Structure formats: C-alpha cells, structure tokens
A = this chain, B = another copy of it.
Amino acid sequence: MNVETALQRLKEKGYKRTKQRERIVEIFVQQDQYIAAKDILKTIQEDFPGVSYDTIYRNLYLLTEEEILETTELGGEKHFRLGCETHGHHHHFICTTCGKTKPIEFCPMNSINENLKGYDVENHKFEIYGKCPQCH
C-alpha cells in the first residue's frame, strides 16, 4: 500500500486530503512496524508543530476503520501499522523491542476443531512476541 492508494480510498468515501493526514499515512508507509500514537505525534510535529492528539487519534481510527491500518495493544498502549494486504489474512511475529513485524501466514482458526457450537465468534488474535534478529 502506498500513500496515493490510501488517500484515494479515503477520497472515494468523501474524506478530504489534508497535509496532516497525508503525512500520517506517509509515516506508516515509510516505517514498516507498529507505532504508538505518541510516536506518530512526535514525528509529525517535525513538519507540523501544531498538531494535536485529536488529529492523530482521529486519523488513526479513521485509517483503521478504512482498513488501511491494523492495530494491536502493546505494553498498555495501542499501536498501529500499515495493513499488508498482499498476504491476505495473516498474523504477526512482533519484536518487543523495535516493533518490527514478520508476517505469519498460518492462521490457527483454520485448525480449530474444538466444539464452539453455540458460541458466536466475532474475532481472534494470534501474535508471537519476542526479539527480531536485529534486536536479539
């Protein structure tokens, strides 16, 4: 996913193209890893000193809603990353030091033969945490 594709998708839904929004998407395209809201804020303030958390969160949630970003909880705070649609549905190894990820193609839901009759499955999470080769 590149910046233009993402913004194009937003435009189709009637969302406007703003410099801040553009920059946020750009950051995610550049950094292929999970990033916390506060780090997005820090980075974007280099270009737009005035941005507020309101702008950050509003856009992060919008981008997640539009399936441009994926989100997960790391160490008590939400982290976001560009959704990598090339692989279709998949999971991640997540480095607990740098936040970089490695796609895991295997999905445990395909292997579930537990009896979940009567249970309404809405969602699932499978994540492996540890140190990537660089941080190891």
A interface list, Cβ under 8 A from B: 73, 76, 78, 93, 96, 102, 104-106, 108-109, 111-114, 116, 118-133, 136
User: Can you list 27 A-B contacts (CB < 8 A)?
Assistant: A73-B73, A73-B76, A76-B78, A93-B119, A93-B121, A96-B122, A102-B116, A102-B119, A104-B114, A106-B108, A106-B111, A106-B113, A106-B114, A108-B108, A108-B111, A108-B126, A111-B111, A112-B128, A119-B131, A119-B136, A121-B129, A122-B129, A122-B131, A123-B129, A123-B130, A124-B128, A125-B127
Cα separation A112 to B93 with both chains bound (whole Å): 12
* A136 to B, closest residue via Cβ: B120
Contact of A130 (CB < 8 Å), options: B114, B121, B126, B127: B121
* A77 to B, closest residue via Cβ: B76
Q: B105, A133: Cβ atoms under 8 Å? A: no
